[in-house]
Structure 1
Amino acid sequence: MDTKGLVVAVALGSLLVMPVAGVAADGAEGRGLANVKQFTLDHSRRLVAQAELLEAGLADYHGVIAAHGGDYAAAWDADGARLAEQVGAIRALWLEASNHYETIEGIVAGIPETARYDLILDAGNPGTDSEDVAEYDLSLPDGTVLKRPGNLFHGITEPLFWGMEETGIKLPADLDGDGTVTRGEMLFDANLGLGAARALTFWAKALEADMAAWKPNREDAFTSVVVMTPTVGDYFGEWKESQFISGEIGAFVARSRLSDVQGIMSGCRRMYTEALSPVVAAGDADLDSRIKAGFEELLALVEDTHAREAAGTSFGAEEADALGNEAQDIADRIVALVLQAAAKAEVEIRG
């Protein structure tokens, strides 16, 4: 590990032992809510640290391009090896940052106090859409302000860093040095990349601050599970439409969408087992067992499908549809049981 990485690791270690404030319940439920908050904070802090590293990587890349007056061809001729290395490092940093967010998305997106961050960071639409718009503007280093440009991870940076949108490609380039230029081998817009990386750091820090201030409660926990668990079918639909199934260039190109589904649904399961299971089991142990079994069945389906894909299985559109429908059916059964449990506990699901 280099010195910079060691400093980040030490900083993270000190952050992860910070106490959690604002937990408003006692006993097993209180401990479970505290555990969920601590887990989410841990990954929020890691997301911030990773976003800062990504921003630094983009600043270096931007600096090389700027040193050649914004001439990408001249920059490639003079510093091609360095730029190729930087693009590879930026992609690796992006994947790690995205991993930390996907791990907690199932929690963050389901809590009313933090749901807006999911739209900004990962799931929101541009302002040209009529709903689920990411409510922020993106300022770029050259002074340009993009109004409501869409979410930062999958809407802007992923297609930019992997060269999947023509407008972001500044120069096709043989990044791996094999003598040919294939899809995704290019220099991307440094101005947009650095601006987006700065925004990612800003909003990751804002999420961390709001998560630290969040006071976990039973209503939020029930709401989170009810809101996020049934989204699994939508994620399978995105997997079906991605290049991993359709072969068409679009979103979700850096890795299979199934990787994200695992993280999101694991977060839903964690919220239930840590924060809600003690409440539900106290009143109806059988209902609690059925809900937990449902989550195990759902995660087993997602994990098995992802493992098969990683092992080389090619899925067609019809099989992807069938798997998505199966996952959705399981999720719908889980939610019906959780709603039953919420009614028994006299908990109102928050909008």
Structure 2
Amino acid sequence: MTRKFARPALSLLAIPALAATLLTGCGGDDSGSDPDQPDAGLTAVKSYLTEHTSDLVNRTAAMKTAGDAYYDLAKASGFNYAKLLKSDCKAVNATLTDAKNAFVKANPAYEEMEGIVAGIPRTAQYDTDLDAGSDASDPENAVSFNLTLPDGKVMKQPGNLFFLIETSLYGTNDDLTVKGVEPDVNCNGKVEFGEGLPDANIFKASVDEMDSQAKDLNKDADEIVITPSDAFTAITVMTPTMSEYFEQWKLSAFVAGAGEQSEQGFVATSRLSDIADILTGIDFTYDEIEPLIAAKNPDQAEQTASELSKLLSTSEDLRDREAAGQKFTPRQADLLGAEMQARAERIAGQVTQAAKDLDIEIQES
């Protein structure tokens, strides 16, 4: 696999010293430290996080620009979408294509850091609002925000932002798209799967909110100190989520077939790609705590690293095979999900035990 950041390089002699340093603030004796020099925490993971939050801000800004342009076109037509498509179809297509291009770049920018953002309790609300939260019908898992539309209407806890934007752009959510108008947005005389004509008021409010939340996440990421406890917690929380992801993949158009899917999301990008991206971030996070585990139990540290690397490699192989044209059946999706979940749970158990051995807290959500 390709890594944006190099694996932390450490000599064997440096490992005990690193372990002592990482344990500072987690129950170790820090009497010799300079109180005026705050602990920098896990700097490689912090850099990985902030590079991705900065990238996400750039992508959401592009989505906002496209959303504003689309809204202006719709407003100029008096929100008469049939008239708009007849008179300015190419302009509509251009703005929505720009939005789609920004979306497919924003997706991996977020997914590659989701294991960190969602896995650390003090940043997990961002994951709920951006990528994982439900609407108000599921209060326990609902997003925290309401959308105030340009026309003054309010959508209370409408669901996560990636879902709102994707399903409106790709036409899989009738609640978010224009009714009574054929969404031939590419102007070729026929409506194809993946074409959507978003309600401009809802779409603008959605991309505005996403841009705002991405900026807030970026600011918080710049200020956060990521501790060993954060890293251990993120890995144990986010690794054993494979069965849920594979179920979503099974129900999506990539497995069920275009137009036959019951899952409205995961149209622009396969859930297999998301799984590989999420595991990339988890694997990178483990890289920085592996020396800490190795100082206590080198064999276990190496075993966990190997199993996590193989889990990631399997997910990348599945992603690449699908991208090359291989079709998977729902039965295969179930079997693969069960296998990957079992492997992920074993890894999470090993990391949980390592945290216990090192007296490092696994935080409660």
- Fold match, TM over 0.5? yes
Q: Which residue of 1 aligns with 2:54?
A: 45
The offset of 1:184, in angstroms, is: 3.1
**Aligned partners of 2:67 and 2:204 also within 8 Å:** yes
Task: Give the one of 325, 336, 340 matched to 2:338.
Answer: 325
- Aligned residue pair count: 324
* Structure 1 position 96 matched with structure 2 position 109: no
Q: Which residue of 1 aligns with 2:177?
A: 169
- SS of the aligned residue for 2:140 comes to coil
The offset of 1:178, in angstroms, is: 3.2
**Aligned partners of 1:232 and 1:265 also within 8 Å:** no
* Structure 1 position 35 matched with structure 2 position 24: no
Q: Could you tell me which amino acid in structure 1 is paired with residue 317 of structure 2?
A: D
Task: Give the one of 296, 310, 313 matched to 1:300.
Answer: 313
**Aligned partners of 2:41 and 2:225 also within 8 Å:** no
TM-score, with normalisation over the residues of structure 1?
Answer: 0.89
* Structure 1 position 188 matched with structure 2 position 198: yes
Once residues 360 and 313 of structure 2 are traced to their aligned partners in structure 1, the CA distance between those partners, rounded to angstroms, is 29
Q: Could you tell me which amino acid in structure 1 is paired with residue 246 of structure 2?
A: F
- SS of the aligned residue for 1:169 comes to coil
- SS of the aligned residue for 1:297 comes to helix
Once residues 126 and 140 of structure 1 are traced to their aligned partners in structure 2, the CA distance between those partners, rounded to angstroms, is 17
Q: Which residue of 1 aligns with 2:282?
A: 268
Task: Give the one of 222, 233, 237 matched to 1:227.
Answer: 237
The offset of 1:328, in angstroms, is: 0.6
The offset of 1:143, in angstroms, is: 1.3
Q: Which residue of 2 aligns with 1:254?
A: 268
Once residues 173 and 210 of structure 1 are traced to their aligned partners in structure 2, the CA distance between those partners, rounded to angstroms, is 39
The offset of 1:312, in angstroms, is: 1.2
Q: What does the per-residue CA deviation read over 1:156-191, in whole Å, with 9 as the maximum and x for residues that have no partner? A: 111000001123232323333433222333422111
Q: Which residue of 1 aligns with 2:29?
A: none
Q: Could you tell me which amino acid in structure 2 is paired with residue 320 of structure 1?
A: A
Q: Which residue of 1 aligns with 2:221?
A: 211
Q: Which residue of 1 aligns with 2:140?
A: 131
Q: RMSD of the alignment, in Å?
A: 1.6
The offset of 1:73, in angstroms, is: 1.1
Deviates more, 1:231-240 or 1:279-288: 231-240
Once residues 18 and 150 of structure 2 are traced to their aligned partners in structure 1, the CA distance between those partners, rounded to angstroms, is 50
Identical columns (%):
37
Report which of the two has the higher share of helix: 1
The offset of 1:94, in angstroms, is: 1.0
Deviates more, 1:239-248 or 1:167-176: 167-176
Q: Could you tell me which amino acid in structure 2 is paired with residue 188 of structure 1?
A: P
Q: Which residue of 2 aligns with 1:22?
A: none
**Aligned partners of 1:172 and 1:185 also within 8 Å:** no
Structure 1: runs of 5+ lacking an equivalent: 1-25
TM-score, with normalisation over the residues of structure 2?
Answer: 0.85
Task: Give the one of 177, 202, 212 matched to 2:212.
Answer: 202
Deviates more, 1:225-234 or 1:176-185: 176-185
**Aligned partners of 2:85 and 2:185 also within 8 Å:** no
